[in-house]
A = this chain, B = another copy of it.
Amino acid sequence: MDATKPDQGQSEQIANRLRTDIIAGRMEEGSPLREIALAKQFKVGRGPIREALQRLSHEGMVVAKPNCGVRVATSPPNSIQELIVPLRRTLETFALRSFFQDLNANDFDQWHSILKRMRIACETSDYASTVELDIEFHQSIVERAAQNDLLSIWLTLVSRLRNQFQNGHRKYDDPMKIYYEHVSIITIFQTGDLEQSLQTLEWSIT
């Protein structure tokens, strides 16, 4: 067997790669994703590509017109996004509440790892990485709840708010503020004060 990796789902890896590319804004809205081109790019057959694309389509990252291909989705109208934001808040606070009392050193190690990378991204004004890490941070909270249902729903919500993550960093004159904001979240978590933590997390979700 290949010692490279247990290869647990290569379509998932492709989906993750494309997802971060879209989130980071490396792909224009409305630009098409051709199966053959992606297949050659990833050195893989068209099957896994189709699966990855279908997954992103369900999440709302791309839109698929039958017999016509998939394109990077355009952001939903503001009315929809304003509907989704509170749903996202409900989900993330629910997740946090579910495991807050079980937090251990290992959890904080992982979060500090994200923060470390985020600090570098912010210091170098690497907007794409900053956006990715912002989402990775919140996703790690949802994943920590170890409820697959939660993650699935969260992904379908966040995919439709990705432009807020992208634009959100414009509103800060200093990119470092993004970093400090997340540091403060983890700092509150470490105090063990649940209510304060929930409030800080909620407040960070625009």
Q: Which among B80, B91, B94 is the interface contact of A149 at CB below 8 angstroms?
A: B80
Given A8-B66, A54-B54, A156-B156, A150:B90 Cβ within 8 A? no
> Given known contacts A51-B54, A83-B90, is B147 in contact with A153 (CB within 8 Å)?
no
Q: How distant is the Cα of A32 from the Cα of B130 in the complex, in angstroms?
A: 42
A141 CB, min distance to chain B CBs, angstroms: 15
- Tell me the bound Cα distance from A197 to B83 in angstroms: 19
Q: For residue A9, which residues in chain B have a CB less than 8 angstroms away from its CB?
A: 66
Question: Shortest Cβ distance from A183 into chain B, in angstroms?
Answer: 28
Per the bound structure, the CA–CA distance linking A79 and B95 in Å amounts to 11
Contacts of A147 in B (CB 8 A): 76, 80
**A12 → chain B, closest Cβ, in Å?**
9
Proximity bits, A112-149, B CB within 8 Å = 1, else 0 = 00000000000000000000000000000000000111
In the complex, A83→B153 CA distance in Å? 11
Asked if A170 CB lies within 8 Å of chain B CBs, one says no
Per-position 1/0 for A70-114, Cβ under 8 A of B: 000000100110011011001100100010000000000000000
Complex: how many Å from CA A90 to CA B85? 12
* A–B complex contacts, Cβ < 8 Å, 17 sampled: A9-B66, A51-B51, A51-B54, A58-B58, A58-B152, A60-B149, A63-B148, A76-B147, A79-B98, A80-B147, A83-B90, A83-B91, A87-B153, A149-B160, A152-B156, A153-B157, A156-B156
Residue positions of A touching B, CB distance < 8 A: 8-9, 47, 50-51, 54-55, 58-60, 63, 66, 76, 79-80, 83-84, 86-87, 90-91, 94, 98, 147-150, 152-153, 156-157, 160
